[in-house]
Amino acid sequence: MGDKLVANLQTHRRHHGVIMEKILAAICVLGLSFAAAAETGPAGVQFQPRGHGWQLTDAKGMSLYTFVRDAEPGKSNCNGPCAEQWPPLIASADDQPAGDWSLIVRENGTRQWSYRGQPLYAYSRDVSPGDSYGEGVNEQWFTALKPIDTPAGVTIRKAMIGHVLADRKGMTVYTADKPKDCDSECAASFPPLLAPWMAAGEGEWSIVALPDGSKQWAFRGKPLHRYIADVKPRETSGHGHKGWSAVVLEPPPPRPQWVTVIGGDAGPILGDAKKTTLYARVPPRMMRARPAKPQIAQAVAGRQSVELVGQLMGDVPESDSEIRCGIECPDSVWRPVIAGDGDKPVGNWSLVERSDGRKQWAFKGNTLYTNIRDTKPGDLNGIRSGSGRGMQTLTPSGDQMPGTGA
């Protein structure tokens, strides 16, 4: 009787503990949402909660962006054609700076809002609230974000598996899937992420005292570790290795079910259901007009005007056949990725209606193709054969693979 009563009490306590954990987790999520809802910025700017912080959107819910080249305080480096593609968030005549918000004067005399020293822009190709087609464009444009608080020496990085916690050098940090004492053998592969001697826990961050007297950072109650096999920032080779996981704050946007992840010689890339490499046709970079080249007689009518556009946009057509029918000439090596009857858009993946009535898949507004020269999974002949100018391959994070694209 006594043993049964003790067992029942222990079971009750376990259930009670699980319930309390769920309640506390719910309170955490609600707190994050309430904090975001309570905070607004000028010009109707909203803070949308994400796992790694709060994404900034305008009054209509459209994503706002920052530009890597805006490095000089109080100055925007996006003007002219650039500002047409990336409209600045303009302030009214009565607006005044306050707190994290400041104002800069643009080349044309208008005033633009800046958040924490970064001028803010919209993206002309975003169609609906929640779109973030501009994220990662040319590796220079990124969604504006107010990140979660992290202690000194801990950063947030965008990796293939999403936004993750990292150390000051950008090396991914990990937690054990199940509570464990990481002995010397364990620490040889997963060394602890050490905290300064004077560090103290706050909020979701706490301190773990190690046997040698040093301190280790813990996030949401889980001690943090690095992985010695990671050699470059943003690598996540320890994710899923022997009961260890990277601390993923925000996973990548969802993908259609038919999209596969395949191994290329330059790293993981995205393919179709047959694991054939996917390519997105990206618009050329906006550039200032270059001095006109000497006029040359053209064999094809209309070529001169197309070349002028190429000079303005920083891109020149590859051949006469491309001018006649684009990249879908009868002899083209490119094949459009056609949607099935039941396919529906998801995340940054949309459907574009073609002139023949069929629907073609697009990623961030860029239509998708495969290349007939790719014959096995991971092939990149579409960009290595000389016919891939203006094409980019995609990585699982949704970013352009380095070295591809316009």
The pLDDT mean for the chain works out to 83
| Confidence at residue 248, expressed as pLDDT on a 0 to 100 scale | 98
Residue 371 in contact with residue 392, Cβ under 8 Å? no
| Confidence at residue 291, expressed as pLDDT on a 0 to 100 scale | 46
Same domain, yes or no: 271 and 367:
yes
| Confidence at residue 287, expressed as pLDDT on a 0 to 100 scale | 54
Same domain, yes or no: 374 and 308:
yes
How many structural domains is the chain composed of? 3
Count CB neighbours of 68 within 10 A. Answer: 12
* Nearest-angstrom CA–CA distance, 120 and 44: 13
Choose the final residue of a domain: 147, 167, 187.
Answer: 147
Q: Record the tokens describing residue 37, joined without a space.
A: 């809802």
- Grouping H, G, I as helix, E, B as strand and the rest as coil, residue 173 is coil
Per DSSP, which regions of 173-256 are E strands? Answer: 174-176, 194-195, 205-209, 215-219, 222-223, 244-246, 248-250
Identify whether 191 is part of a domain. yes
Residue 156 in contact with residue 246, Cβ under 8 Å? no
- Grouping H, G, I as helix, E, B as strand and the rest as coil, residue 177 is coil
* Nearest-angstrom CA–CA distance, 357 and 276: 24
* Nearest-angstrom CA–CA distance, 352 and 362: 7
Q: Which run of H or E residues covers position 143?
A: strand 141-143
* Nearest-angstrom CA–CA distance, 205 and 327: 53
Single-letter amino acid code for the residue at 225 = H
- For tokens 């993923």, the residue is 248
Q: How crowded is the C-beta side of 6, counted as CA atoms within 13 Å?
A: 3
Choose the final residue of a domain: 131, 147, 163.
Answer: 147
Same domain, yes or no: 81 and 176:
no
Same domain, yes or no: 178 and 219:
yes
Range of the domain at 197: 154-250
Same domain, yes or no: 341 and 226:
no
* Nearest-angstrom CA–CA distance, 146 and 149: 9
Count CB neighbours of 218 within 10 A. Answer: 19
Identify whether 16 is part of a domain. no
Residue 139 in contact with residue 399, Cβ under 8 Å? yes
C-alpha 15: how far from chain center: 39
* Nearest-angstrom CA–CA distance, 237 and 246: 9
Query: Phi/psi at 43 (nearest 5 deg)?
Result: 60, 25
| Confidence at residue 73, expressed as pLDDT on a 0 to 100 scale | 93
Identify whether 25 is part of a domain. no
| Confidence at residue 180, expressed as pLDDT on a 0 to 100 scale | 87
Same domain, yes or no: 57 and 115:
yes
Same domain, yes or no: 268 and 290:
yes
Identify whether 167 is part of a domain. yes
- Grouping H, G, I as helix, E, B as strand and the rest as coil, residue 382 is helix
Same domain, yes or no: 131 and 226:
no
User: Is the four-CA dihedral 134, 137, 143, 144 of positive or negative sign?
Assistant: negative
Same domain, yes or no: 346 and 238:
no
Q: What is the pLDDT along the chain (406 residues), one digit of tens a residue?
A: 444 433 443 444 444 443 444 433 443 444 444 444 447 899 999 999 999 999 999 999 999 999 999 999 999 999 999 999 999 999 999 999 999 999 999 999 999 999 999 999 999 999 999 899 999 888 899 999 999 999 999 999 999 899 999 999 999 999 999 998 899 999 999 999 999 999 999 999 999 999 999 999 999 999 999 999 999 999 999 999 999 999 999 999 899 999 999 987 778 899 999 999 999 998 766 555 444 444 433 333 333 333 333 333 333 334 454 444 566 776 789 999 999 999 999 989 999 999 999 999 999 999 999 999 999 999 999 888 766 678 889 988 877 665 555 4
| Confidence at residue 65, expressed as pLDDT on a 0 to 100 scale | 98
Choose the final residue of a domain: 204, 221, 250.
Answer: 250
Identify whether 21 is part of a domain. no
Identify whether 78 is part of a domain. yes
Identify whether 28 is part of a domain. no
Q: Record the tokens describing residue 13, joined without a space.
A: 């306590």
Closest C-alpha to 150, from 199, 189, 187: 199
Same domain, yes or no: 269 and 351:
yes
Burial degree of 247 (CB within 10 A; 0-12, 13-18, 19+): buried
Q: How far is CA 169 from CA 42, 109, 139, 162, in A?
A: 34, 40, 19, 18
Q: Record the tokens describing residue 122, joined without a space.
A: 């919209």
Same domain, yes or no: 46 and 134:
yes
- For tokens 């700076």, the residue is 97
| Confidence at residue 286, expressed as pLDDT on a 0 to 100 scale | 58
Same domain, yes or no: 290 and 307:
yes
Identify whether 22 is part of a domain. no
| Confidence at residue 265, expressed as pLDDT on a 0 to 100 scale | 74
